[in-house]
Amino acid sequence: MTQSPPDQQSVALALAAVADPETGRPLATMDQLCSIAVTADSISVIVALTSHSAMLWGSTRSRLEELLRTRFPQVPNISVVIVEHLRPPSKIGQIGLEAKSVIAVGSGKGGVGKSTIAACIALGLARAGSRVGLLDADVYGPSVPHLLGLTGRPDIQDGKIQPVLHQSLPVEAQSAGLLGSTPRPQFAMPVMSMGFLVPAGEAVVWRGPMLHGAITQMLRDTAWGPLDYLIIDMPPGTGDIALTLSQILPLTGAVVVCTPQDVALLDATKAIAMFRKVNIPLLGMVENMSFFLAPDSNKRYDIFGTGGAKRTAHELDIPFLGEVPLQIPIREHGDAGRTAANFDDPASRPFLEAICVSLIGNLAAAHAARPAMPSLPVL
Ligand SMILES: Nc1ncnc2c1ncn2[C@@H]1O[C@H](COP(=O)(O)OP(=O)(O)O)[C@@H](O)[C@H]1O
Ligand SMILES: [Mg+2]
C-alpha cells in the first residue's frame, strides 16, 4: 500500500512545537515557519532563525530534517533551509548597550590563554553569523588588539567612540549551504580596547575609580551598534572589574578559562567564587592547553596534567564547555596578530567550535527551561 503525500498542515504540525533556539518558544508561535512546500516526493521548508542562534543553525536544521524524516518516512526528499529572522536587541542596563547577551571571559590567573579563548569565542560566533562585539576589559594589559592584528586610534563621531572593526570574517552558514542561495551580508566585528588609546609600551597607572570610569566609558560610549553578543575579555585577578560590570549592566554570565594545572585550577575556583559573589551566573569552564599532540609522532603529552578542569567544573556544578590543546600554531597566530586563522586550522578549529556550540547550546537550553510567561508576584 502506498501512503499518500502529507499535506502542508500536517508538516506544519510536526514542526510547530520545536523550540526557537534563541527564545525557547515554539517556532510556530513566532511565525518562524515561513514556507512549507509539499509534492508527491518532497517536503521543502523554510525556517526563520535569528542571528543570535547562528551557532545552532546547523544542529537545528538537522533536528528539523530528522523530525520530518521520522514523521514522513514515505517522502524521499526532505530539505530545510534557513533564512534570517530579524529580532533586534533591546537596550540593556542604564548605559543603553544594545545587546542580547553579554558574556565575560575570565580566569584567576594570567597567561592561561584567556584573551585567546575570549577572542576565539567572539570570532567563532561571528563566523557562524551572529553580530558580535569584543571588549578588552584588561585595562592594564590589553592584548586583544595584538592577538587580532588590529591597530588604529578610534575616532569620536557624534559623541561616540568608533570601535576598530575586524573585517572579512567569512560567514560559515553560507558556505555550509545552510542558507540556501540567500546571500548573507558580512558583518565586521567591532572591537574596543585600551590598547587603541594608550601607545604600546606605555604603562597605565590608574586608581580604582578611574578603572571603573574607563570600563564604563568603553561600554557606554562606544558605537557598538546592535549586537547579539558582547564578549568581554576580563583582566586576571581580583574582582574590581567584575564588580564594576555587575553594577552597570546585567551580564548574561561568565566563562572561566583555566589550564589543567593545580595552581590554575585553584585560581579558577577563586574566580568562580568571585563571579558568584557579584551574582554573575557561571556559563561554564574551558580547559586550555589541555594536552599536546606531537605533530611528528602524534603522541599525546599531558603537559599540565589532564582532566582537572572537567573534574573541577563537575565539583563546582558548572558546565564544562570543552578543551583546547596546546598547539604551536595557536601561539604563532597569536604572535602574528592572526588569531582568526585558528579557524582555518583543522587541528584547532573543531575544539574552538565545540566550545562555542556548547556555550550557545547551554544558553538556548536555559531559555527553553524558563517559563514563557513570568508569573506575577502575589502581593
Ligand atoms: N592552546 C594554546 N596553544 C598554544 N599557545 C597558546 C594557547 N592558548 C594561548 N596560547 C598562547 O599563550 C600566551 C598567553 O595567552 P593569552 O591569551 O594572552 O593569555 P591570558 O589572557 O590568560 O593572559 C599567548 O602567547 C598565546 O598565543
Ligand atoms: Mg589577557
> Against a cut of 0.95, is the pTM above it?
no
Which pLDDT score is estimated for 157?
92
> Is residue 153 within 8 Å of residue 142, measured between CB atoms?
no
Backbone phi and psi for residue 325, each to the nearest 5 degrees, phi listed first: -70, 160
Atom of ligand 1 nearest to the CA of 327: 3
Same domain, 238 and 289: yes
Give mean pLDDT, residues 305-328: 92
Atom of ligand 1 nearest to the CA of 257: 22
Tell me how far the alpha carbon of residue 104 lies from the centroid of ligand 2, in angstroms. 12
374 inside domain: no
Same domain, 77 and 96: no
> Is residue 283 within 8 Å of residue 359, measured between CB atoms?
yes
Same domain, 364 and 219: yes
Of the residues 16, 51, 84, the one at which a domain ends: 84
Q: Which residues contact 62 (CB under 8 A, 6 or more apart)?
A: none
> Is residue 268 within 8 Å of residue 258, measured between CB atoms?
yes
Same domain, 148 and 252: yes
Grid-cell match 542596563, residue found: 93
Tell me how far the alpha carbon of residue 112 lies from the centroid of ligand 1, in angstroms. 6
Of the residues 84, 112, 132, the one at which a domain ends: 84
Give the number of whichever ligand sits closest to the CA of residue 341: 1
- Please work out whether the CB of residue 115 comes within 6 Å of at least one atom of ligand 1: yes
Long-range CB contacts (< 8 A, 24+ apart) of 331-339?
334/116, 334/146, 334/147, 336/149, 337/146, 337/147, 337/148, 337/149, 337/150, 338/149, 339/116, 339/119, 339/120, 339/123, 339/147, 339/148, 339/149
Give mean pLDDT, residues 63-76: 95
Tell me how far the alpha carbon of residue 113 lies from the centroid of ligand 1, in angstroms. 4
352 inside domain: yes
165 inside domain: yes
> What percentage of the chain exceeds 90 in pLDDT?
64
> What percentage of the chain exceeds 70 in pLDDT?
94
Same domain, 66 and 95: no
pLDDT higher than threshold 60 for residue 379: no
Using pLDDT thresholds of 50, 70 and 90, give the confidence band for residue 31. confident
pLDDT digit string (tens) for 278-312?
A: 999 999 999 999 999 888 898 999 988 888 889 99
Tell me how far the alpha carbon of residue 154 lies from the centroid of ligand 2, in angstroms. 21
Give the number of whichever ligand sits closest to the CA of residue 138: 2
Give the number of whichever ligand sits closest to the CA of residue 141: 2
Same domain, 97 and 76: no
Of the residues 84, 108, 135, the one at which a domain ends: 84
pLDDT higher than threshold 80 for residue 175: no
Same domain, 217 and 276: yes
142 inside domain: yes
> Is residue 113 within 8 Å of residue 324, measured between CB atoms?
yes
Output the domain CATH number for residue 244.
3.40.50.300
Same domain, 265 and 331: yes
Closest to 256 measured CA to CA, from 92, 127, 121, 369: 121
Domain count, the chain: 2
- Please work out whether the CB of residue 116 comes within 6 Å of at least one atom of ligand 1: yes
Which pLDDT score is estimated for 373?
46
Top pLDDT among 1 and 96 is at 96
- Per DSSP, the residues of 322-363 read EEEEE-HHHHHHHHTT-GGGGGG-TTTHHHHHHHHHHHHHHH
Which pLDDT score is estimated for 218?
93
325 inside domain: yes
**Structural domain range at position 31:** 8-84
Output the domain CATH number for residue 41.
3.30.300.130
Same domain, 226 and 286: yes
Give mean pLDDT, residues 189-204: 85
Tell me how far the alpha carbon of residue 191 lies from the centroid of ligand 2, in angstroms. 15
Site to substitute for ligand 1 among 331, 338, 348, most atoms within 8 A of C-beta: 331
pLDDT digit string (tens) for 108-135?
A: 888 899 999 999 999 999 999 999 999 9
Classify 220 as helix, strand or coil: helix
